[in-house]
Structure 1
């Protein structure tokens, strides 16, 4: 019984890891991130829910504030932010097999037989969401940083908010480039 409970806990932990958004970042190595202190939103992300959009912007603002950056007017900002949100429907097919059915012992009609197995295929449709955040140097108008977070979109608003926050936290874990990862 203890083995079964341990197995259930392990599967739950693995499922939690699998649901973490996939995050990638890229940056211009010649950009002087130490000199950037202010930012402005050039384009705020817009998705299917204005409430989620507000939470995304708020989470990014909080991450930048924690790094010592502050929001400024566009003519005074060091960095311009452009965010985009996209969702795409995907499908997966899961096939489960049962059989073949073996019966009794012996051959043919003397005590045994073989039955054909069956296969059941279930198609599951789900949404995958991607947040892309680009940073531009306002003086040079050149891209200096990009972060992307991609993951399945849960059905409940609470789960969506949790995943959005996890993706943004992971995106900014080593921001600005060259800094130590957050612990």
Structure 2
């Protein structure tokens, strides 16, 4: 029983950390598109320029997308089958934690030693981001596939590059649609 109580905080921390690092992915696509026809790609500058993120982050995302598409057998081309665009959204989440009355075990209500109790609170901030990757049929100028990844972002420069690669990889896992994942 003591061993259970020792490992319980570790398991709770592990669940918390793994839930924060997860990326939720959703995709949508044109059911009439023949995804086997698409072999080449280029970036759609007009769409990418509208993304409201730093140029450094845009380049990180574009490099990650290019790497994923090349790994899937695509070729970068001046006359592409697909145009790749992206869009981003983010929102700051503020979480307020109220830790109650510390070691005394009192919860709601009054107790005579209120002035002597521990009452702690903390605030944490995190940024939740959404990355949309749009694949557009270059000939028809129609959106044929969209992948969306939602998760928490890192402001730490060393972790940012890895996090962006993780976002893009998770999204691009779902392309092309209908393939066994």
- Which TM-score bucket, shorter chain as reference? 0.7 to 0.9
In terms of Rg, which structure is larger? 1
Which residue of structure 1 lines up, in the alignment, with residue 108 of structure 2? none
Q: Whose helix proportion is higher, 1 or 2?
A: 2
Deviations 1:91-131 (A, max 9, x none): 122111016958xxxxxxxxxx7433665443333322221
Which residue of structure 1 lines up, in the alignment, with residue 97 of structure 2? 94
Which residue of structure 1 lines up, in the alignment, with residue 69 of structure 2? 64
Deviation of 1:89 (Å): 2.1
* 1:84 maps onto 2:87 in alignment: yes
TM-score of the pair, normalised by structure 2 = 0.78
Deviation of 1:32 (Å): 0.6
Which residue of structure 2 lines up, in the alignment, with residue 37 of structure 1? 39
TM-score of the pair, normalised by structure 1 = 0.78
In structure 1, C-alpha distance between the alignment counterparts of 2:11 and 2:28, rounded to whole Å = 33
- Structure 1 runs not aligned, ≥5 long: 103-112
Count the aligned residue pairs.
170
- Structure 2 runs not aligned, ≥5 long: 106-110
In structure 2, C-alpha distance between the alignment counterparts of 1:114 and 1:101, rounded to whole Å = 12
Deviations 1:146-166 (A, max 9, x none): 111222222311222222111
Seen in structure 2, the aligned counterparts of structure 1 residues 118 and 12 have a Cα distance that, compared at 3 Å, is closer
With 123-132 and 171-180 compared, the bigger mean Cα shift is at 123-132
User: Any idea what SS the aligned residue of 1:86 has?
Assistant: strand
